[in-house]
Amino acid sequence: MKIGTVLKGLHHDENELARTLLRVADQHRADHEVFHLGRDLADWSVRHVREIAAVAGSFGEQLDPAPDDTPSPVDQARRWVSQRMGRSSATELVLVRDLRDVYLRASGVLTDWEMVGQAAQAIVHDELLELATRCQAETKRQATWANAKLKEVSTQALVV
Amino acid sequence: MSIDDRITDVWGDRTPYARGGRWPDRVDQHLAAGIREEDVDRWVQTASTLHSNGDAFDIAVRDGRIVGVRGRQDDRVNHGRLGPKDLFGWQAIQSPDRLTRPLVRRDGRLVECSWDEAMDAVVRRTRELLDEQGPSAVGFYTTGQLFLEEYYTLALVAHGGIRTSHVDGNTRLCTATAAEALKESFGSDGQPGSYTDIDHADVIALFGHNVAETQTVLWMRILDRIAGDDPPAILCVDPRPTPVAKAATVHLAPRPGTNVALMNALLHEVIARGQVDEQWVGAHTVGYDDLEKTVSRYSPDVVSTVCDVPAADIRAAAGLVGEAEALLSTVLQGFYQSHQATAAAVQVNNLHLLRGMIGRPGCGILQMNGQPTAQNTRECGADGDLAGFRNWSNQAHVADLARVWNIEPKQIPHATPPTHAMQIMRYVEDGSIRFLWVSGTNPAVSMPELARMRSILSQDRLFLVVQDIFLTETAQLADVVLPAAAWGEKTGTFTNADRTVHLSEKAVDPPGEARSDLEILVDFARRMGLQDKDGQPLVKWSTPEDAFDAWRECSRGRPCDHSGLSYDMLRDGSGVQWPCTDEAPDGTERLYAGGAFWASPDDCESYGRDLETGAPVEEQEYRALNPYGRAVIKAADYRPAHELPDEAHPLQLITGRTVYHFHTRTRTARAPELQAAAPEVWVEVSAHDAATHGLREGDLAEVRTRRGEVQARVRVSDIRPGVVFLPFHYGYWDTAEGWRPGDHGRAANELTATDWDPASKQPIFKTAACSVRKVADGDGSPAPVPRTTAQAPVSAASTEGGPR
CA atoms within a 13 Å half-sphere pointing along the CA-CB vector of B575:
32
Distance from CA of A89 to the nearest CA of B (A): 5
Does residue B800 belong to the interface with chain A, where contact is any CB pair within 8 Å?
Answer: no
Q: At what angle do helices A90-122 and A126-157 cross, to 10 degrees?
A: 160
Contact B610 A144 (CB under 8 A): yes
Phi, psi of B744 (to 5 degrees): -140, 150
What is residue B229's DSSP assignment? S
Distance from CA of B613 to the nearest CA of A (A): 6
Which of A32, A88, A142 shows the shortest C-beta gap to B431? A88
Contact A32 B426 (CB under 8 A): yes
Mutate to test the interface with B, among A151, A156, A158, A159 (most CBs of B within 10 A): A156
> If you measure CA to CA, which chain A residue comes closest to B613?
A145
Domain spans in chain A, listed from the N-terminal domain onward: 3-66+75-157
Which of B136, B416, B426 shows the shortest C-beta gap to A160? B136
pLDDT score for B799: 33
pLDDT score for A128: 96
Does residue B754 belong to the interface with chain A, where contact is any CB pair within 8 Å?
Answer: yes
Contact (Cβ atoms closer than 8 angstroms) between residue B119 and residue B524 = yes
Contact (Cβ atoms closer than 8 angstroms) between residue B738 and residue B471 = no
The percentage of residues in chain B with a pLDDT greater than 70, rounded to a whole number, is 98
Distance from CA of A33 to the nearest CA of B (A): 7
Contact A33 B423 (CB under 8 A): yes
The SS3 assignment for B245 reads helix
Nearest by Cα to B469 from B507, B501, B512, B500: B512
Contact partners, residue B613, CB within 8 Å, separation at least 6:
A37, A40, A41, A141, A142, A144, A145, A148, B758
Radius of gyration of chain B (CA): 25
Residues in chain B: 804
pLDDT score for B803: 37
Which residues in chain A have their CB less than 8 angstroms from residue B133's CB?
A: 159-160
Contact B423 A142 (CB under 8 A): no
The separation between the first and the last C-alpha atoms of chain A, rounded to the nearest angstrom, is 53
Overall fold of domain B176-368+625-632: Dimethylsulfoxide Reductase; domain 2 (3.40.228)
DSSP state letters, B255-309: PTT-HHHHHHHHHHHHHHTT---HHHHHHHEE-HHHHHHHHTT--HHHHHHHHT-
Contact B431 A149 (CB under 8 A): no
Sign of the torsion angle spanned by Cα atoms B175, B178, B183, B184:
positive
Does residue A142 belong to the interface with chain B, where contact is any CB pair within 8 Å?
Answer: yes
pLDDT at residue B608 above 50? yes
pLDDT tens-digit readout, B395-431: 999 999 999 999 999 999 999 999 999 999 999 999 9
CA atoms within a 13 Å half-sphere pointing along the CA-CB vector of B328:
26
pLDDT at residue A81 above 80? no
Give the lowest-confidence range in A4-18, B11-25, B97-111, B788-802. Answer: B788-802
Q: Report how far residue B315's alpha carbon sits from residue B327's, in angstroms, rounded to the nearest whole number.
A: 17
pLDDT tens-digit readout, B433-462: 999 999 999 999 999 999 999 999 999 999
> If you measure CA to CA, which chain B residue comes closest to A146?
B615
Nearest by Cα to A137 from B629, B621, B632, B267: B621
Does residue A58 belong to the interface with chain B, where contact is any CB pair within 8 Å?
Answer: no
Q: Report how far residue B414's alpha carbon sits from residue B395's, in angstroms, rounded to the nearest whole number.
A: 9
pLDDT tens-digit readout, B560-585: 999 999 999 999 889 999 999 999 99
pLDDT score for B801: 38
Contact (Cβ atoms closer than 8 angstroms) between residue A49 and residue A65 = yes
pLDDT score for A75: 64
Average pLDDT for chain B: 96
Q: Print burial letters for B184-210: b (CB count within 10 Å at least 16), e (below 16).
A: bbbbbbbbbbbbbbbbbbbbbbbbbbb
Query: Residue B39: how many CB atoms within 10 A of its CB?
Result: 14
Nearest by Cα to A149 from A88, A106, A86, A85: A106
The CA-based angle B626-A107-A24, given to 5 degrees, is 110
pLDDT tens-digit readout, B271-323: 999 999 999 999 999 999 999 999 999 999 999 999 999 999 999 999 999 99
Does residue A148 belong to the interface with chain B, where contact is any CB pair within 8 Å?
Answer: yes
Distance from CA of A62 to the nearest CA of B (A): 30
pLDDT tens-digit readout, B325-372: 999 999 999 999 999 999 999 999 999 999 999 999 999 999 999 899
Does residue A84 belong to the interface with chain B, where contact is any CB pair within 8 Å?
Answer: no
**Alpha helical stretches, state H, B686-774:** 687-692
| Long-range CB contacts for residues A138-141, cutoff 8 Å, separation at least 24 | A138/A44, A138/A48, A139/A44, A139/A48, A139/A106, A139/A109, A139/A110, A139/A113, A140/A110, A141/B610, A141/B612, A141/B613, A141/B615
pLDDT tens-digit readout, B233-244: 999 999 999 999
Contact partners, residue B148, CB within 8 Å, separation at least 6:
B373, B376, B379, B380, B492, B493, B494, B495, B501, B548, B551
Does residue B615 belong to the interface with chain A, where contact is any CB pair within 8 Å?
Answer: yes
Residues 85-114 of chain A with CB under 8 A from chain B are: 86-89, 91-92
Phi, psi of B668 (to 5 degrees): -70, -30
> If you measure CA to CA, which chain A residue comes closest to B132?
A160
Which of A91, A155, A159 shows the shortest C-beta gap to B430? A91
What CATH number labels A3-66+75-157? Answer: 1.20.1260
pLDDT score for B795: 63
Contact A32 B615 (CB under 8 A): no
How far is the CA of B568 from the CAs of B57, B60, B492, B545, B584, in angstroms? 17, 21, 12, 10, 17
pLDDT at residue B587 above 60? yes
Contact B430 A32 (CB under 8 A): no
Class of domain B3-94: mainly beta
Distance from CA of A13 to the nearest CA of B (A): 21
pLDDT tens-digit readout, B197-207: 999 999 999 99
Average pLDDT for chain A: 90
pLDDT tens-digit readout, B85-128: 999 999 999 999 999 999 999 999 999 999 999 999 999 999 99
Q: Report how far residue B524's alpha carbon sits from residue B157's, in angstroms, rounded to the nearest whole number.
A: 9
Q: What number is the ipTM of this complex? A: 0.94
Q: Report how far residue B433's alpha carbon sits from residue B422's, in angstroms, rounded to the nearest whole number.
A: 13
Contact A32 B754 (CB under 8 A): yes
The amino acid present at B137, given as its one-letter code, is A
Distance from CA of A133 to the nearest CA of B (A): 14
Which residues in chain B have their CB less than 8 angstroms from residue A30's CB?
A: 426, 429-430
pLDDT score for B802: 38
Greater pLDDT, B716 or B4: B716
Average pLDDT over residues B186-193: 98
Distance from CA of B713 to the nearest CA of A (A): 32
Overall fold of domain B651-776: Barwin-like endoglucanases (2.40.40)
Give the lowest-confidence range in A130-139, B2-11, B313-322. Answer: B2-11
Does residue B432 belong to the interface with chain A, where contact is any CB pair within 8 Å?
Answer: yes
Q: Report how far residue B494's alpha carbon sits from residue B511's, in angstroms, rounded to the nearest whole number.
A: 23
Distance from CA of A61 to the nearest CA of B (A): 31
Distance from CA of A32 to the nearest CA of B (A): 6
pLDDT score for B375: 97
pLDDT tens-digit readout, B658-677: 999 999 999 999 999 999 99
Domain spans in chain B, listed from the N-terminal domain onward: 3-94, 103-174+373-490+509-542, 176-368+625-632, 651-776
pLDDT at residue B800 above 50? no
| Res. B804 pLDDT band, cuts 50 70 90 | very low
Greater pLDDT, B788 or B703: B703
pLDDT at residue B617 above 50? yes
Which of B134, B417, B419 shows the shortest C-beta gap to A159? B134
pLDDT score for B784: 86
The B492-495 sheet, strands edge to edge: B492-495, B500-504, B576-577
Q: Report how far residue A68's alpha carbon sits from residue A70's, in angstroms, rounded to the nearest whole number.
A: 6
pLDDT at residue B167 above 50? yes
Contact A32 B431 (CB under 8 A): no
Q: Which CATH code, of 3.40.50.740, 3.40.430.10, 3.30.9.10, 3.90.76.10, is assigned to B103-174+373-490+509-542?
A: 3.40.50.740
Q: Report how far residue B300's alpha carbon sits from residue B309's, in angstroms, rounded to the nearest whole number.
A: 9
Contact partners, residue A78, CB within 8 Å, separation at least 6:
A23, A26, A27
